[in-house]
Amino acid sequence: MKGIVFTKFFEMIEEEKGYDLVDTIIEEVKPDSGGSYTAVGTYDHSEIVALIVSYAKHTGQNVSDVLKDFGKYLFDVFYNNYSSFFNPNHTAFDFLKSIDNYIHIEVAKLYPDAQLPRFKTEEPQKGTLVMTYVSTRKMADLAYGLIEKTLQHFQEEKSIIMENVEAGGSVVKFTIS
């Protein structure tokens, strides 16, 4: 997982709970990498999972909710750091459809070692977008938060239904309508 995900996760904790909690969870998790992440580095995915689980424990939240909140936070990070991926004429659906066939492809060019999910998209009827998330990293809750914030960003009021297609969370269907 790219270091930017770790540094932004710590930034979110610092803003919401203060830097001491960042120290506490690093102390507790003792990541193999040592816990000092740089935005351009690449680290084992299991480290972010362990840090999220530890943070959830300290704040009394469940892990799903932490991932969803972090997804919303990351949306703003992406909007501020990668503004070229945002087309002012796009709708929320245009943007969401562009993740798999454009944005994540460009991200993979920038960071050849990035581990990105795949999304299959279809519009079974007007006003409904079905996105199927596929990733062995099982971070569909992060995707949920990113999609939720996308809808807010484009000021579109829509509901999101999330369903496991495969037990365990490596294939998850989002119906946005």
DSSP string covering the chain:
-BHHHHHHHHHHHHHHH-HHHHHHHHHHH--TT-S---TT-B--HHHHHHHHHHHHHHHT--HHHHHHHHHHHHHHHHHHH-GGG--TT--HHHHHHHIIIIIHHHHHHH-TT----EEEEEEEETTEEEEEEE-TT--HHHHHHHHHHHHHHTT----EEEEEEETTTTEEEEEE-
Q: Report the residue number, 103 or 162, with the smaller CB distance to ligand HEM.
A: 103
Q: Report the residue number, 52 or 135, with the smaller CB distance to ligand HEM.
A: 135
Which of 25, 51, 52, 99 binds ligand HEM (CB under 6 A)? It is 99
- 65-84 positions binding ligand HEM, by CB under 6 A: 78, 82
Q: Check if the beta carbon of residue 116 is closer than 8 Å to that of residue 54.
A: no
Which of 26, 103, 129, 171 binds ligand HEM (CB under 6 A)? It is 103
Q: Report the residue number, 60 or 112, with the smaller CB distance to ligand HEM.
A: 112
Least Å from the CB of residue 28 to ligand HEM: 22
Instruction: Compose the 120-159 pattern: x for residues touching ligand HEM by CB under 6 A, - for all others.
Output: ---------------x-x-x--xx--xx--x---------
Least Å from the CB of residue 20 to ligand HEM: 26
Does residue number 98 form part of the binding site for ligand HEM (CB under 6 A)?
no
Residue 134 has phi, psi (to 5 degrees) of -130, 120
Does residue number 13 form part of the binding site for ligand HEM (CB under 6 A)?
no
Residue 167 has phi, psi (to 5 degrees) of -55, 140
Q: Which residues bind ligand HEM (CB under 6 A)?
A: 1-2, 5, 78, 82, 85, 96, 99, 103-104, 107, 114-117, 135, 137, 139, 142-143, 146-147, 150
